[in-house]
Amino acid sequence: MDIEEFRKAGYQAIDRICDYYASLQERPVVSQVQPGYLVDALPSNPPEQAEDFNSIADDFQKMILPGITNWQHPNFFAYFPTACSLEGILGDLYSSSVSNPGFNWLSSPACTELEQVVMDWCAKLIGLGDHFLNKSGVGGGVIQTTASEACIVICVAARARYVRENPEAKLEDLVIYTTTQTHSLGVKAGLVLGLEVRALPVKPEDEYGLRGETLHQALAEDHAQGKRPFVLIGTVGTTSSGAVDNLEEIGEVLKEHPSIWLHVDSAWAGVAMACPEYRAFGKLDAINKYAESYDTNFHKASMRLNSWGLVNFDASMLWVRSRKNLTDALDVTPEFLRTKQHDAGLVVDYRNWHLGLGRRFRSLKVWFVLRRYGIEGFRKHIREGVELNEYFASLVRASPSFELVTTPSLALSVFRLTLPPSVSSELEGKDETTVRTAQNDLNRAFHTRISAHSDKIFLTQTMLNDTFCVRFAVGAQRTRKAHVDAAWELVQENAREATEEWLQQRTKV
Ligand SMILES: *Cc1c(COP(=O)(O)O)cnc(C)c1O
């Protein structure tokens, strides 16, 4: 492709991207293709001869787009909010245009220095303390691909620090602490590193957040058995229900155990701290006081509606109190990667702050987005997302057929159907398990039914201890009050049908 061909193909690509967004509302929310649809349709070998670019671009429209689940669709209420902004897309485009692996300062000084600057901007945006800033020269921030990878990086650094401080420790005795509500990133880190993971229990009466007392007990048990917990992955805003661990209590318990590293995963909720009124919810003070590291995904930062969102996938922001803990664990510098700027201590070489060597120029899209929105715009969008979820929660509260399982958490509500009055009275006096099983069955039937309409709406389910629930996560950039109203209609309609059918089956049995 020469430059003039690129110019034409580029204009066409932008046109098609614009058309895609303009027609988003008419597309199915969840891709409706069957497994193997693309594998069967594509040749099993690469083409022998070069193909015309137009036919390649056309195949994106014909073959790829139908297999895309439209996370930006206004009726997407599943998983967590995910972002994609036109500014972010342009940032990625410019980043591709200067494609380079940016692994050390010299390989492209702008890649490193822009990342240092935007990580400090983001830290200030959400209120992190000065000790997390790159400017501090001691702590600092780095963009990782995902929260899961950030968690592995942290476990590697925490393990190296622990073994340095406790040279007699055997690797097989090391334990990663999580809770039963921690994202699977904890288990993943354990698998990758070959380390035991212990999931501490949490209770419904604590809204599924970890308490200091539970941690204290677990530590006593494990230490008595010669085990060595070395890192605790705390969460602010679990994926399942938006639960928040009691970081104040945890921090106090860990004061007695300074070798244990506290990492806080706030992958989807963290950006809400851009608004001062959500900082108490986000446990900002405790994070600044106790956390050794903190991670939030700016690519999940799309709790907004009126306009295009924020940073598109991927941009997981990781901050550490001490950058030396990362580089002590991850610095490998073969001769060919040495530079005089690094040897002189003048520059940051981010390759020693993460797992890979090369890295994408992600700071560019963050920079574009933050400048286009400003702090004010960022806050506005977050507030709108939270308000919309509060609206949904108010509809649930007002309906006798539904209940909220936990207090709504920012842009996430966890709810379920209540048992119909006839079944409630039939089960009166029965044990808790029988009642819960019946309610779980009913809600499974409801979720199965609404999932059959995945072209129109997408909600995901979760288990909170033994309770089956349905999640409503606001976030797609075009979601407005009217979409929440329409979603609520669909929820009610499917609930009615599912309940009727479930009741019929019950009487048959
Ligand atoms: C989404 C999410 C993750 C995983 O994020 P990745 O960046 O995809 O690894 C981890 N923790 C929480 C709380 C999440 O919501």
Residue 46: which domain range? 3-68
CATH number for the domain that contains residue 54: 1.20.1340.10
Average pLDDT over residues 7-18: 96
Report yes or no on 76 lying in a domain. Answer: no
Residue carrying structure tokens 């921030």: 141
Q: For atom 2 of ligand 1, which residue has the closest CA?
A: 267
Same domain, 406 and 501: yes
Q: For atom 15 of ligand 1, which residue has the closest CA?
A: 239
- The strand ranges marked E within 109-235 are 140-144, 174-179, 196-200, 228-235
What residue ranges line ligand 1, CB within 6 angstroms? 80, 146-148, 183, 185, 235, 237-239, 265, 267-268, 297, 316
CA of 300 to the centre of ligand 1 (A): 9
Report yes or no on 80 lying in a domain. Answer: no
Q: pLDDT tens across 143-161, in order?
A: 999 999 999 999 999 999 9
Q: How many CB atoms lie within 10 A of CB 491?
A: 25
Number of domains in the chain: 3
- Taking CA atoms, 338 is separated from 105, 112, 324, 349, in Å, by 11, 16, 18, 10
Same domain, 221 and 165: yes
Report yes or no on 78 lying in a domain. Answer: no
Residues 6+ apart with CB under 8 A from 143: 115, 119, 315, 316, 317, 318, 359, 362, 363, 366
Same domain, 387 and 348: no
CATH number for the domain that contains residue 191: 3.40.640.10
Tokens found for residue 335 = 């001769």
Q: Give the whole-angstrom CA distance, residue 302 versus residue 308.
A: 8
Same domain, 133 and 254: yes
- Taking CA atoms, 291 is separated from 104, 248, 251, 265, in Å, by 27, 10, 8, 10
Same domain, 279 and 384: no
Q: For atom 1 of ligand 1, which residue has the closest CA?
A: 267
Q: Name the DSSP class of 66.
A: G
pLDDT of 306 reads: 29
Q: Are 266 and 236 in contact (CB under 8 A)?
A: yes
CA of 168 to the centre of ligand 1 (A): 34
Q: Map residue 337 onto helix, strand or coil.
A: helix
Going by pLDDT thresholds of 50, 70 and 90, the confidence category of residue 309 is: very low
CA of 185 to the centre of ligand 1 (A): 7
Residues 6+ apart with CB under 8 A from 384: 303, 304, 305, 306
Q: pLDDT tens across 185-226, in order?
A: 999 999 999 999 999 999 999 999 999 999 999 999 999 999
Pairing of strands 228-235, 293-297: unpaired
Q: Give the whole-angstrom CA distance, residue 146 versus residue 363.
A: 14
Average pLDDT over residues 261-274: 94
Which of 15, 37, 68 is the C-terminal boundary of a domain? 68
Q: What percent of the chain has pLDDT over 70?
A: 96
CA of 267 to the centre of ligand 1 (A): 5
CATH number for the domain that contains residue 410: 3.90.1150.10
Report yes or no on 12 lying in a domain. Answer: yes
Q: pLDDT tens across 66-117, in order?
A: 999 887 787 877 766 566 778 888 999 999 999 888 888 988 999 999 999 9
Q: For atom 5 of ligand 1, which residue has the closest CA?
A: 147
Report yes or no on 75 lying in a domain. Answer: no
Mutate to test the pocket of ligand 1, among 236, 265, 266, 316 (most ligand atoms within 8 A of CB): 265
Same domain, 388 and 415: yes
Residue carrying structure tokens 């700071």: 363
Mutate to test the pocket of ligand 1, among 148, 180, 181, 191 (most ligand atoms within 8 A of CB): 148
Same domain, 179 and 321: yes
Q: Determine the atom of ligand 1 nearest the C-alpha atom of 145.
A: 7
Q: Determine the atom of ligand 1 nearest the C-alpha atom of 299.
A: 7
Mutate to test the pocket of ligand 1, among 181, 268, 296 (most ligand atoms within 8 A of CB): 268
Same domain, 159 and 284: yes
Q: Which of 305, 406, 405 is nearest to 81 (CA)?
A: 305
Helices (H), 270-362: 284-290, 323-330, 340-343
